[in-house]
Amino acid sequence: MPIVEKSLVEVDRKEHLEVEGIDVSGDWNTFLRSRVQTDLDVRVVDWVKGQPQGETISRCWQCGTCTAGCCMHTDYGLTDFNPRYFIYLAQVGYEEELRRYASTIWRCVSCNKCVERCPKGVKVEEVVHTIGTYLTLTGAAAESPADRFDRAYTENLLARGVLDEAALFRTYERLEGRKTPAKKLLSMGLSLLRTGRLHTGPLAHRTRGWRRMRTVLEAQLAEDERRRKGALAPATPAAGGNR
């Protein structure tokens, strides 16, 4: 009996098939070749550990407390989202398997229950996001809507040191290639204006001395980005691979 991945055999494989009028429906395609893990790659964990938010990854001992309470399971039924497993894959160095979760890993809503409960003091939420960042930087994960929103948010904030909600909304719409109907936009704008929550254009807030502050922040962000990318060795296809 070969060892095969659970995920491959547990799917519902009832297939409908009729051959010459005879119904032979059943579990087909269950002769799976086992996928053998043939290498380990410490680069993921080394990189994650080197980030200020990823430092606690090496504490994890795979108890599963984080996943057990994860609201992705309890509230959203997303069984693919398993922080305990993501950490293991990164820790031991199964990069290829990790890449399968490159988009799922971003689903975390940062409720931080895992961080509260972890007996080993792993900052699970931060670690998982750091693993996600690794995957994005190495090209495994496409930029998600959340990433684009983050980008728009940061740029918006950097402009004047205070958020311009209307501008953020417009930028995000452009990035996503979406357009809210003018009528809806107008009614939303009016109600925001009436309740004093719309600060844009001539009404926008200013932050005193922001220009100097911005220079410092931008330099820091550029430095962070350089450090993140600089630590990444070019990926080789064989690393952490399987056959």
Which residues here bind other proteins, judged by CB under 8 A? 2-3, 5-6, 34-40, 42, 45, 49, 58-62, 85, 88-89, 91-94, 97, 120, 242
Nearest CA to 150 among 180, 110, 187? 110
**DSSP track, 16-58:** --EETTEE--EE-S--PPPPPB----THHHHHHHHSTTTGGGG
- In the complex, the smallest distance separating the C-beta of residue 157 from other proteins, rounded to whole angstroms, is 35
- In the complex, the smallest distance separating the C-beta of residue 126 from other proteins, rounded to whole angstroms, is 16
The amino acid at residue 104 is: T
Query: Which C-beta is closer to other proteins: that of 49 or that of 148?
Result: 49
Query: Which C-beta is closer to other proteins: that of 120 or that of 211?
Result: 120
- In the complex, the smallest distance separating the C-beta of residue 54 from other proteins, rounded to whole angstroms, is 13
Query: Which C-beta is closer to other proteins: that of 70 or that of 92?
Result: 92
- In the complex, the smallest distance separating the C-beta of residue 124 from other proteins, rounded to whole angstroms, is 15
Query: Which C-beta is closer to other proteins: that of 60 or that of 118?
Result: 60
- In the complex, the smallest distance separating the C-beta of residue 214 from other proteins, rounded to whole angstroms, is 38
Here the tokens at position 121 are: 């003091």
3-state helix/strand/coil string of 168-201? HHHHHHHHHCCCCCHHHHHHHHHHHHHCCCCCCH
Geometric angle at alpha carbon 56, from 52 and 58, rounded to 5°: 125
Contact 49, 231 (CB under 8 A): no
- In the complex, the smallest distance separating the C-beta of residue 26 from other proteins, rounded to whole angstroms, is 24
Query: Which C-beta is closer to other proteins: that of 82 or that of 136?
Result: 82
Query: Which C-beta is closer to other proteins: that of 3 or that of 22?
Result: 3
Distance of CA 27 to the CA centre of its chain: 35
Residue 63 CB partners (closer than 8 Å, separation 6+): 84, 119, 120
